[in-house]
């Protein structure tokens, strides 16, 4: 039984997938698994695949780019169930495993909430019919173990957690939005970690996602393979209406009126033209010293500081300390503290400032007068930055690109700087910020330090310092 039959058989997954509105996904899966198609289905396949011919064999990689509400996670769950059950038996995958070796089907989500949704879909598909339900041996936090020795696992994306296992299939849900504070390219590192795990079984790699900026793994696969005749890699692309025609067209039309560029990606399934990288990896790495992480106080320098306060939660309370050397901004020290009382952090930062003989710090307009009042308790004057965060980034760009900055070897800082995005609004105005789901607390502190240095240079030239 092939995947289309499994998706339409009422005794398997047909109760969940057998609807006329899912013809686009049936065309995509028919192409990915090299199944026969009638003229109408092949016409849909070619429209979504850039007019390429259908593959002659099951592909090694399927990349499906679809607009929001395009039934992506549901379909990803269905592929996972099929590859762990019927698909594992059909193509002889299980015979390639050594005695005692268990295979796994892995679905990786963008966050814990999405992982929970995916697991609910998978559990529902398995338990909806007696045939699949009877295959379940154990269902717990480690995954769903089936009687054929295959474990279906759902987790958040991490290239560190996928190594050392034999995979029958790996499915990357919303791969364009993977984030990791320790890496600027978590999607690419994950792909590199997964590929060897699929070699033993000749397993299938699936990426299903709405598109985002013109960079990253999904965009790279689209650029190289969309519309190209290749039997190993299939890339398809379609709008929300292609994959889920039940969505109210008025909702999409209103989104287009409000923000055309955003709607083009969210509902049109097209990569955004208005989002660019603010700093390249090459620039950031060229400015990063090999060590040490922090320079100690040196009496020959005059130090200054910038802080980005936080009230707790997912954001860090950050502080950057630096000095000028021949018009170069040296970032001597960068600290970031999360999930601690703001009062405790201010106390710790005040002691750090005093160790560099600094009695004032610049910060943004956060929580009214609270930062100023709290720092004042420790003998530190808090000055509110004249420029908003967006201007701090804009004004620091020249220093970054001219090599007039020395950065500490801080992986989180490097990742945040590389991930910064420049978005262009309809009026032509640029904004610089972290991507959705990301952070820029350390990057903001460094940008503020660079902006402070620029003002100190002007004061020095004017003879005020």
| pLDDT band at residue 458 using 50, 70 and 90 as cut-offs | low
Task: Please list the helix, strand and coil fractions of the chain in percent, rounded to the nearest 5, in that order.
Answer: 40, 20, 35
Distance (Å, whole) CA 411 – CA 205 = 29
The residue that leads in pLDDT, 159 or 109, is: 109
Distance (Å, whole) CA 221 – CA 241 = 23
Query: What's the pLDDT tens digit per position in 165-218?
Result: 889 999 999 999 998 777 778 899 999 999 998 988 899 999 999 999 888 999
Distance (Å, whole) CA 359 – CA 378 = 10
Q: What is the pLDDT of residue 111?
A: 87
Query: What's the pLDDT tens digit per position in 76-98?
Result: 999 999 999 999 887 777 777 77
Q: What is the pLDDT of residue 145?
A: 94
Which one, of 48, 63, 59, lies nearest residue 172 by Cα?
63
Q: Residue 56 — φ and ψ, nearest 5°? A: -90, -15
Q: Which of 10-19, 252-261, 416-425 has the lowest mean pLDDT?
A: 252-261
Query: What's the pLDDT tens digit per position in 158-180?
Result: 766 677 788 999 999 999 999 87
Other Cβ atoms within 10 Å of 401 Cβ, number = 13
Which one, of 199, 399, 383, 176, lies nearest residue 287 by Cα?
399
Query: What's the pLDDT tens digit per position in 306-326?
Result: 999 986 678 899 999 999 998
Q: What is the pLDDT of residue 426?
A: 61
pTM for the model stands at: 0.79
CA 235 to chain centre: 20
Token pair in block for residue 462:
């004017």
Token pair in block for residue 363:
């910060």
Which one, of 77, 88, 89, 91, lies nearest residue 17 by Cα?
77
Tell me: pLDDT of 393 over 80.
yes
The residue that leads in pLDDT, 369 or 51, is: 51
Distance (Å, whole) CA 387 – CA 347 = 26
Q: How many residues does the chain have?
A: 465
Distance (Å, whole) CA 156 – CA 80 = 15
Walk me through the domains of the chain, giving residue ranges and CATH numbers: 3-273 (3.40.50.300), 281-461 (3.30.420.240)
* Cα separation values, 191 from 118, 197, 217, 393, Å: 20, 10, 8, 31
Backbone angle region of 456, left / alpha / beta, with phi > 0 → left and psi within -120 to 50 → alpha: alpha
Distance (Å, whole) CA 132 – CA 136 = 7
Q: What is the pLDDT of residue 465?
A: 42
Token pair in block for residue 339:
């999930």
161, burial (CB in 10 Å: exposed 0-12, middle 13-18, buried 19+)? middle
388, burial (CB in 10 Å: exposed 0-12, middle 13-18, buried 19+)? exposed
| pLDDT band at residue 140 using 50, 70 and 90 as cut-offs | confident
Scan for tokens 């909430």, then name that residue: 113
Q: Which of 100-114, 144-158, 423-437, 450-464 has the lowest mean pLDDT?
A: 450-464
Which one, of 243, 177, 159, 170, lies nearest residue 207 by Cα?
170
CA 144 to chain centre: 26
Q: Edge to edge, what strands does the sheet with 360-363 contain? A: 381-384, 360-363, 303-308, 317-325, 328-337, 405-406
Distance (Å, whole) CA 148 – CA 135 = 8
Distance (Å, whole) CA 124 – CA 109 = 17
Q: What is the mean pLDDT of residues 1-25?
A: 90
């Amino acid at each position: 039984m092939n995947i289309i039959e499994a998706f339409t058989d009422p005794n398997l997954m047909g109760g969940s997938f057998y609807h006329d509105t899912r013809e686009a996904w049936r065309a995509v899966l028919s192409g990915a698994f090299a199944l026969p198609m009638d003229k109408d289905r092949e016409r849909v396949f070619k429209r979504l695949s850039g007019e390429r011919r259908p593959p002659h064999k099951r592909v090694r990689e399927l990349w499906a780019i679809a607009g929001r509400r395009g039934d992506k996670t549901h379909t990803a769950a269905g592929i996972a169930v099929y590859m762990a059950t019927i698909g594992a038996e059909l193509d002889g995958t299980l015979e390639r495993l050594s005695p005692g070796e268990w295979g796994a089907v892995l679905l990786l989500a963008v966050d814990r909430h999405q992982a929970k949704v995916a697991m609910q879909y998978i559990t529902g598909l398995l338990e909806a019919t007696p045939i699949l339900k009877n295959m379940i041996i154990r269902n717990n936090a480690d995954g769903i173990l089936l009687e054929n020795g295959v474990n279906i696992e759902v987790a958040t994306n991490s290239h560190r957690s996928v190594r050392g296992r034999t995979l029958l299939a790996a499915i990357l849900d919303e791969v364009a939005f993977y984030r990791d504070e320790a890496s600027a390219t978590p999607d690419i590192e994950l792909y590199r970690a997964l590929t060897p795990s699929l070699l033993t079984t000749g397993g299938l790699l699936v990426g299903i996602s709405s598109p985002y900026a013109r960079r990253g793994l999904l965009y790279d696969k689209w650029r190289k393979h969309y519309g190209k005749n290749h039997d190993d890699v299939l890339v398809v692309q379609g709008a929300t209406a292609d994959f889920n025609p039940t969505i109210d067209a008025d909702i999409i039309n209103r989104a287009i009126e409000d923000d055309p560029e955003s709607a083009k990606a969210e509902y049109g399934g097209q990569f955004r033209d208005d989002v660019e990288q603010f700093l390249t990896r090459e620039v950031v790495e060229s400015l990063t010293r090999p060590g040490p992480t922090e320079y100690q106080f040196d009496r020959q320098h005059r130090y200054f500081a910038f802080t980005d306060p936080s009230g707790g939660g997912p954001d860090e309370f950050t502080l950057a300390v630096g000095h000028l050397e021949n018009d170069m901004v040296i970032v001597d020290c960068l600290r970031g503290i999360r999930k601690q009382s703001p009062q405790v952090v201010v106390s710790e930062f005040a002691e750090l400032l005093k160790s560099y003989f600094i009695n004032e710090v610049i910060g943004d307009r956060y929580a009214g007068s609270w930062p100023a009042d709290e720092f004042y308790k420790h003998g530190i004057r808090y000055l509110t930055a004249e420029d908003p965060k967006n201007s701090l980034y804009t004004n620091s760009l020249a220093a970054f690109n001219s090599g007039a900055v020395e950065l500490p070897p801080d992986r989180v800082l490097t990742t945040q700087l590389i991930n910064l995005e420049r978005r262009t609004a309809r009026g032509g105005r640029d904004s610089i910020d972290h991507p959705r789901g990301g952070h820029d607390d350390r990057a903001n502190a460094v940008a503020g330090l660079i902006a402070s240095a620029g003002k100190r240079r002007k004061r020095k030239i004017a003879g005020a310092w």
